[in-house]
Amino acid sequence: MDNKEQGSQKHFSFEIKKKMQGLGRAGVIKTPHGEIQTPSFVAVGTKATVKGITPEMLEGMGAQVALANTYHLYLQPGDELVAKAGGFPKMMNWQGPTMTDSGGFQVFSLGEAFGTGVSKVASGEDIVVSERKGYSKSKKFAHIDEDGVNFRSYIDGTWHRFTPERSMEIQWNLGADMIFAFDECTSPLAQHEYQREAMERTHRWAERSIVRHEELDPENKQALFGVVQGGRFQDLREESARVLGAMNFDGFGIGGSFNKDDMAEAVGWVNRILPEGKPRHMLGIGEPMDIFAGVGNGCDLFDCVSPTRVARHGRIYTADGQVQIKNARFREDFTPLDSECSCYTCQNYTRAYIHHLQRSKEILGQTLASIHNLHFIVKLVDDIRQSIYDECFEEFKDEFLKRYYTK
Ligand SMILES: [Zn+2]
């Protein structure tokens, strides 16, 4: 890795600048590629690209950090090739701070959840369905054992194996500033007994991840985050936070699965125990309501593919909630997507134009919508951060959520 900093100089730090009542805080993470003001929304570039968005556009919308997926880049184009290119940040021409995930979530999402339509956030309905249907489908796509996991490539069906050590090696090759220990991300539907088994295995994998990381990266150029698991269960979440919090990690991820109704509470259980002075990343969460809950309960970083994924299908975030731009009522609407938005799209284009582009399946329609949605979420988290400094987080939250979720 190309890094001019030498010797004992610290490559990574976190400083809390302002605390709220309760667990929430604002701060600054320092990385070899710049600072991150927290709380912050992390742009997801799954395959080393935020789909349809250039790094210049990302910078223009105020994105501070980009995250790529270990699983996807390992399969295509391969982590060794990415290493030859100088790491994924260099390959994609993104100058700012970066992260990669552990690959563990994809083991879950392309394994157990494959074909069931169940995401990492369960609603009450999902749980009822699962108790009826059981899990028999899962075994075909991923096999988890004590040492690691065998899984099938979603591209060509070939079998591959991840272990904690392998995840560290792949993430070293990918070259992000912040990486995650290998974890097993369970289904939100899994019961207590299995959640405990998976959590304890994740803790053993965390220790192995630390050992391999130290061998690969003795100067700690890459910050290593441990991932707290434990599903919906308070005793397990607290135990996971205690065990991982005592390990030598630079920060922590809080992994799925959550129950939608008690997500805020579950995050609170964890963050009351994790060391206060280390950053906490709520993995895969991007709904405004959930971001407020996460910040209020002490999370510093959030990432989610939703803003760009739904944008490509015409769903647009506005201060008054989401709209479907392909809807006929926007055909002759010559106002911006959101009249209060300062993004490139809203400064230069109309709803009618983006309606037309999306209906006629023009690539630019997806790009313009993605710029807007990503800007919307990045700015929302920026505004949340400002509200912490201004000591009006609760007021800002009530005002925003009331408008966003009332149609
Ligand atoms: Zn906009």
Helix H or strand E encompassing 267: helix 263-271
Question: 180 Cβ partners below 8 Å, 6+ apart?
Answer: 99, 100, 101, 102, 104, 171, 224, 225, 226, 227, 253
For residue 101, the number of C-alpha atoms closer than 13 Å in the C-beta half-sphere is 32
User: Does the annotation count 303 as an active-site position?
Assistant: yes
Q: Separation of 265 CA from ligand 1 center, angstroms?
A: 32
Q: Separation of 316 CA from ligand 1 center, angstroms?
A: 9
Question: 310 Cβ partners below 8 Å, 6+ apart?
Answer: 322, 373
Q: Separation of 371 CA from ligand 1 center, angstroms?
A: 7
Question: What is the Cα–Cα distance from 195 to 230, expressed in whole angstroms?
Answer: 6
Question: What is the Cα–Cα distance from 117 to 122, expressed in whole angstroms?
Answer: 11
| Average pLDDT of the segment spanning 279-297 | 95
Percent pLDDT > 90 in the chain is 78
Q: Are strands 315-318 and 321-324 parallel, antiparallel or unpaired?
A: antiparallel
CA torsion 346-289-36-62 (nearest 10°) is 0
pLDDT at 113 over 90: no
Q: Are strands 301-303 and 40-44 parallel, antiparallel or unpaired?
A: parallel
Question: What is the Cα–Cα distance from 53 to 374, expressed in whole angstroms?
Answer: 10
Q: What is the pLDDT of residues 50-74, one digit of tens each?
A: 999 999 999 999 999 999 999 999 9
Contact criterion met (CB below 8 Å) for 334 and 325: no
Check residue 297 and report its DSSP letter: T
User: Does the annotation count 101 as an active-site position?
Assistant: yes
Q: Separation of 97 CA from ligand 1 center, angstroms?
A: 24
Q: What is the pLDDT of residues 219-250, one digit of tens each?
A: 999 999 999 999 889 999 999 999 999 999 99
Question: What is the Cα–Cα distance from 315 to 309, expressed in whole angstroms?
Answer: 9
Place of tokens 């965390």: 206
